[in-house]
Every structure is written in structure tokens, then in C-alpha cells.
Structure 1
């Protein structure tokens, strides 16, 4: 019985071991091929490779190109937490083994075996589902490839996007090259203009789009909104803040690092948190979608609004706290 217990424990430990650091998974993320590794290990591998070199899975050697679509494996994360908790419990009980009666010890071993079987079953289900997605149907891999193609296809759009200085709130300063904006404490004496936001600390892009698919990429820090808004959005009221009406769709990063999606005044918390400060925005008129993604060494989906876009929309930026050195920059090229 002890041998069987050790065998099951060894199998489970092997399944929960990161192929890179050879330790139990910490914040496991799943690659398009279905294999997982620690987020820290994945980030390290991506940072120490040439930018143009395709990334390959350390387990199966599948290649994914310069941008990778990954997602956090919440089920695997839960299994790791349960396994670590059981290991800690085992250590505590071994220390008290001299005071444990035989009946209680046998009961403990039986319970431990049941837990091991359960965790192994969960792992098997996770692996089976990943295998079905990535090997039999290839749906996950194909989705990532389509996303990557979309990014590269609309790469030239980024170079043409600049900010509309006439729309900037008096609490914002736009750079001379019209690619960056930051929040200031003291109100600026800007001339009146019908395009200017008078209450909400916001700015729109000069260019608006009315059809097709478009991709914009930004670098942001502090307390900010990155939004897509109709050109006709109200500029005179505090309620014109992005996401508060039907004319804008917003991704908000607050002072605590939390992410929220806003539309029509409805706030939806996003479980993901940013590990990089670049955000990609995709607007697709044909599919009726406004999507936000984190862009680092990987392309991590954050939120998609499904909507029927009926008029010209612009990129909108909101900057709400000057004490957090809030700043947003439009980036010309992908990394």
C-alpha cells in the first residue's frame, strides 16, 4: 500500500512539474499546443531569445512564431494548490507520527490515497481536453495564428495614428509629436474648441475609422482608460467619461492595478492583471467587435465587447490621477 501511494504521488508530482525549472508549477499558463509551464519561466524564455526567432514549446517543440497566445490554467493552478496543501499536511503529520495511533494512521493513508486519485483524475481531464483542442481539432492553434495574422496585417495602421490636441482636456498635456499624453494637476489655459473635453480628462485620436478592421497599440502607466468611442461622443459633461454611455467602450486600469470593462455605465471586473504595460486594441466593424489585449512577449486577450458599430469611431484615452504619473503613448511598431 505504501508503494502504491508513493507511485501515485510520484506520478502526480511528475505531471505537476514545470519542464523548464523542474519545480512544481507556479502560476501555470497553457501554450497553444496544450502543454503548460510557469509564467515566470515562460517570460524568462521569451526575454532571452532573439525577437524574430519563433518560440517553441519546451515539451513538444511546436513553434508558435514571435507572438504567442497563452491563457492561465486555472484548473491546473487549483490542483497545484491542493497538492502543495496535502504535502504540507503530510509533513506535519509525519512530525507527529510517534503520537499517532494505528487506526488513525490507516485512515489518514486511505484519505490521502483518495485525494491522490482525485488529483490524478483532474490532471488527466485537463491533459485530455488540451490534447483534443490542440492535436485533434487544432482550433486553439488556428485561433492564435489568425490573431497573429490580424496583428501583422494591420501593422501599418499604427504609424498613421496621432492624438487630436484640440480634443484634449485642460488637465492633459499632449506631446509635440502628438503620440503621447499625460495628466497634470494644474488646469491648462487652452483655447475653447468644440472638440475639447471640458470636464472629463480625456483625449481622442485625430483619425476615426468607419469600416474594416483596425489595430492600435499603446503603452500606458498609472490610472487610465483606453477606449473606443464614437466621434459624436459628448464633450461637455462629466458623464462623457468613457464607458458611461452607449457611445464608448472602455478598458480601465485603476490605482490598485485592477482591470475593468465599461460600457453604458456597467462595470465588469476582468480577472486578468497586466504583467506588461502595452495594450492592443482591435476594432472590427464586420464582426461587430471591440477587443482589448495585453501585448508583451505574448498576446493575452483581456476583454471583447460585441456591438453593432454604426458610425465613425476613434481611439480614446482617459487619464485620471496625476499623482500616479499617468501617461499613455501610441506606439508605432509592434515588438
Structure 2
């Protein structure tokens, strides 16, 4: 297996720069793994492909406005992108600026002081704030959009799912962006169940694999939770013949992490903590029967995950067709339903 096996050419104009309105009008490419058949629909048609008793597993994480600015004692400007909360006052962050060493004191714009506690790899630092930073983020923080989105987002809520509840992500679980209250109501009326999980998405999700062999790549850890209520819902639904449909790769990662310690007769067990689960072709899926996902970057761990589920050659063929039919790619792009 080589990282180059997961490469493809995407014309730049296929990268979506803004979200579709309404959300559920995004296009939906439905791919059947058994037959190889592709349907071209819109996301609002999703209920036609689901049955009463199926479970849609959604990630209720909320993106935090994690991009903030400050100054060094010298007056030099600093940009801070919060990645992960380590404790009440300490965060792992990417820090842009020169000579940001251990012990450097940073003054946030119209905000508290912070000190660099530890230098990690590259631009990563552990930063201790003098007070809890969340109230400041609500006033001064900016939404950290992915690097390939160049247009200004007028409404920050469009980079949140309608079911976002638990703040902590540096990026949105983008497959969930297509759901609207009207579509959710339609699904529930049909007897489709919703299971809620939380996985706080890190910026590493956008990082390409640079190693020649993807198995040498150091996969990032992410905090996730699948509680007892959701575990019970999923186990009961599968026992009755319902399918478990992951909404997004973040839900896949959470479900399969929760599947590791499942007892006999269970699909998942409750799970809470960091996961380093790395899903590559050859992985045996225990919990996920189908998935909804956007179109992913070349050479990314997310493309590898989808390839593990549906086959590398098959997915690259589907992507080729999606490009030919001018689907929109990446975070604000269109969706796939893989059955």
C-alpha cells in the first residue's frame, strides 16, 4: 500500500467556497457497494434510501471560534489557533509568530494574559491562560475555516451543524452540515432513529499523509464519547435488523472505537476518551453498515477510511464520476451515501 494510491486530480473550481442554501439542497451521490450502481440525487431525498428502524449516528460537536490574536512583550503580533483543551486553563495550540519560546508571555487583544508552557513539534505549543478562555472566545474568537476555503463566511452558524451541542472542535463534522430541521422531522416521521455521539475534530483531519507508506503515518488522537443511551439504541436497533449509518467519518471513528470493547451480541459498548483508531484498507468494520460522507482531499486519512469501507479503486472511480458531473468537493461541498 502506498500513499500515492490515494491520489487524484481535483480541478480547483470543484472546491466549494460557500455552503448551499438550503442545506438539504446539496447534491447526494448514492453508491451501492454490492452492485456498483450510482444514483444522483439531492440530500433531501435521503429518506428514500433508509428504512424504519435504521439509526443515523450524528456527531453533536460544536466548532469553537478558536482563532485569536495577541502580542508578545516586544509588540510583535501573534496568531493563536486553539486545537485541544488539556485542562481548565491549558490548551494545545498552533502559534504563528517568531521566537515563541517556553516562558513567552502573550497579551491577547482586549483579553487576558497567556504564557507558553511547553514547545511541542513545529508551531504547536501548550499555552496556559490566566483565566478560562471560553467567554473570551465568544467575544473575540474567529471561526477557523479550512485552508482551502478563501471566501469570507458571512454567517458563522453555517459552519455548524443544526444539532451542534458540545463545544470543542477546531473543524466541523461536515457530513452533518446537510441536515435541516425539516429533513430531520421527515426522517423521524419515517421511523428513522438518531443516535448522538461526540468527537471533537482536530485540524490534523486536513493534514495530508506525507509518508510513502500510509501505515508509517502517525495518526492524530481525538477525544470522543458514545454514551450508554446511544450504545443501547444502536445495539437494540441492530438486533432488530436495523442498519447503523454513520453521518461522517468522525461518527465512523467513534462507532468503531466503541466497537472494540463490545461484548458478544453487542455492536458497541459505551466509550469515553481519546481514540487513535486508524482505519486503512483491510480494516474490519464491526459497527458501521453504511455511511454519509463528503468528498475528501487526495492522500488524506479520510479518503483512506472511505476506501477501507468501499474499496480504493471503487471510490476513485466514484470520485472521477463526481468530478465529471461537477459535484462540489470538501467541507462546503456535496455528499455521498455509501450503502
TM-score, scaled relative to structure 1: 0.23
> Which structure: greater helix fraction?
1
More relative contact order, 1 or 2 (CA 8 Å, 6+ apart): 2
CA radius of gyration, larger in: 1
